[in-house]
A and B are shown apart, each in its own frame.
Chain A
Amino acid sequence: MHVLLLEPNTLLAQTYTQALQQDGFSVAHAASAQTAVFAADKHQPDVVILELQLPEHSGLEFLHEFRSYPEWKDVPVIVHSMLPPTQTIQVEESLRRDLGVKALLYKPRTSLTQLLRVVREQTHHLELKAGKRQSATEEAV
Chain B
Amino acid sequence: MALNNDVRPEANELLASVAEQLKVPLAIIARQAELGVLQGRRGLADTPAAQGLDAATIATQADAALMLVDSYLLGLELLRTQTQLELEPVSVSSLLVDAAHDLHGFARQYGVTVDLDMAGRYGPVMSNARGLKAALLSLGFALVEAQATQASDLSESVGKKPARVLLAAHRTPHGIVAGMYGTNQAVSASAWRRAQALCGKARQPFAELGAGSAAGLFMADTILRSMESRLRVGRYLHAGGLAATLQPSQQLQLV
Chain A residues with a Cβ under 8 A of chain B: 8-13, 15-16, 18-19, 21-22, 28-32, 34-35, 38-39, 51, 53-56, 58, 82-83, 87, 107-108, 111-113
Contact = CB atoms under 8 A, between A and B. Distances in A.
B39 interface: yes
Given A9-B24, A16-B31, A38-B157, 16 more contacts: A10-B151, A11-B61, A11-B148, A12-B24, A12-B31, A13-B152, A22-B44, A22-B49, A31-B153, A32-B153, A53-B203, A55-B153, A55-B211, A82-B27, A82-B212, A83-B203
Contacts of A29: 152, 156
A113 B34 CA distance: 9
A53 B211 contact: yes
Contact of B212 (A31, A53, A56, A108): A53
20 contacts: A8-B149, A9-B28, A9-B211, A11-B110, A12-B31, A19-B31, A31-B153, A31-B156, A32-B149, A38-B156, A55-B146, A55-B210, A56-B207, A58-B207, A82-B20, A82-B24, A83-B203, A107-B27, A112-B31, A112-B38
A52 to B, nearest CB: 9
The bracket for how many chain B residues form the interface is 35 or more
The 4 closest A-B pairs by CB, nearest first: A8-B211, A31-B153, A10-B148, A53-B211
B209 interface: yes
A51 to B, nearest CB: 7
A19 B38 contact: yes
B63 to A, nearest CB: 14
A109 to B, nearest CB: 9
